[in-house]
Amino acid sequence: MPDIAPILPSQARAVAFMLCATAFIAATTLLAKALGTDTLGDPLHPVQVTFGRFLFAWIAIVTIVAITRPNLTRPNLGLHLSRTLCGATGVTLMFAAAAAIPLADATAISFLNPVFGMILAIPLLGERVGKWRWLAAAIAFTGALILIRPGAGSVQLGALLALGAALALGLELTFIKRLAGRERPLQILLLNNTIGLAIISVAVLAVWQSPTPSQWVALAALGFAMAAAQACFVNAMARADASFVTPFSYLTLVFATLYDLAVFGTVPTGVSLLGAGIIIAGAALLAWRERVNQLTPTPTP
């Protein structure tokens, strides 16, 4: 029987950070659902929810930068702007979806973003995609089609919003790949949230309504949870290979389902579980193939 490689301490810490990140990410969708429905008062527009996410996340990150005083380098503002526009669009659509459909469905569809990232990397980054990764994409899209439920009225609309979010976040991944290794993670987070706050501060003027005190608390909690999720995610990626730690991000679906059940009493249906399972299977196959590609030596001419 072959020996099983032990989990290194750094890998164990990476898993712990990723688990914390998934819990915080699921919490942001829960808070977005509370803010986008009448739970805490008149529903807030998704753009206003995104404004709260960027405002309070920016406050948290600026505080960390002021305390740690990291060395900042000259950034690639074009890449940062493109990345942030895609990310802000994806987050806003995701928050809208969270208010319209069960969190488990919205979260599961969001797992399509690495699939979209793979497809978009073909024309944008010149990457080549083999049959295994195309198979993974086909499996994931089959699960998404189940969750979209063609002809199901408002459920269909919410699922389409989540699908749009996954597309925008997949496009964001292509810009993140181009930024990877060029700048320090804290600098990337600072610029991402600064640019995002500037953009969304203009957009929110068209839909602004005065939040209730409880909504202000939820907006602050959402922003701080997002900052914590980003910090945990960056720390997880810094301690282990992405191919090792990324599959643990699928536990976001578990946390989202538990939060939705505990707070809103939403019980996932069999169709939701089937669609989510198929999407995760496709995403897991894609992650496995990425690891195989990394371990396969490139032939020299």
Neighbours of 20 (CB within 10 A): 17
Q: Is the dihedral of CA 136, 139, 144, 147 positive or negative?
A: negative
The Cα–Cα gap between 125 and 174 comes to: 7
5 occurs within a structural domain: no
203 occurs within a structural domain: yes
301 occurs within a structural domain: no
Of 245, 274, 279, the C-alpha closest to 112 is: 279
Residues of the chain under the 50 pLDDT cut: 1-6, 154, 298, 300-301
**Can you read off the two tokens belonging to residue 289?**
């193939």
Q: How many domains does the chain fold into?
A: 1
Could you list the residue range(s) of the whole structural domain that residue 238 is in?
10-294
- Residue 2 is predicted with a pLDDT of 41
- Residue 156 is predicted with a pLDDT of 67
70 occurs within a structural domain: yes
Of 259, 233, 257, the C-alpha closest to 246 is: 233
How wide is the angle at C-alpha 139 spanned by C-alphas 162 and 132, nearest 5°?
Answer: 125
Q: Which residues does 131 contact at the CB level (< 8 Å), separation at least 6?
A: none
Query: Could you read off the pLDDT of 151-166 as tens digits, one per residue?
Result: 555 456 888 899 999 9
3 occurs within a structural domain: no
102 occurs within a structural domain: yes
- Residue 195 is predicted with a pLDDT of 96
DSSP 89-123: HHHHHHHHHHHHS-HHHHHHHHTTHHHHHHHHHHH
The Cα–Cα gap between 34 and 292 comes to: 41
- Residue 235 is predicted with a pLDDT of 81
- Residue 291 is predicted with a pLDDT of 65
- Residue 42 is predicted with a pLDDT of 95
**Can you read off the two tokens belonging to residue 259?**
């939060």
125 occurs within a structural domain: yes
By 3-state DSSP, what share of the chain in percent is helix, strand and coil, each rounded to 5?
A: 80, 0, 20
